[in-house]
Amino acid sequence: MSELKIIATIQVKPDYLDDVKKILYSLADGSRKEEGNVSYDLHESIKDPSKLSIIEVWKSQEAINIHNNTKLFKDFIKFIDGKYDVLDIDVIKQIY
């Protein structure tokens, strides 16, 4: 199986933006150390700084499953509850 990419976009409520960014930095640092991670990059919209995108590359679905069960990821999910207006997650694979 080929690598999988996750594209997650979060529209953060303005009052929580700094705190969400801090935890995302921590999540990115920890995720990059995971064996199944290829890359984990955070992005901010130029038009709307409260719109954040995470582009992750993982070696396999199994690597994603392991990541999703880490304490770091579970703590992140709990932390952002109620702090965003939109959360869109898509898992994609390269076909050409």
The model carries a pTM of 0.92
- Going by C-alpha positions, the residue among 54, 62, 44, 88 that lies closest to residue 4 is 62
For the cut 70, the answer to whether the pLDDT of residue 66 exceeds it is: yes
Secondary structure of 31-74 as H, E, C letters? HHCCCCEEEEEEEECCCCCCEEEEEEEECCHHHHHHHHCCHHHH
Model confidence at 2, in pLDDT bands (50, 70, 90)? confident
Please state the separation of Cα 73 from the chain's center in Å: 9
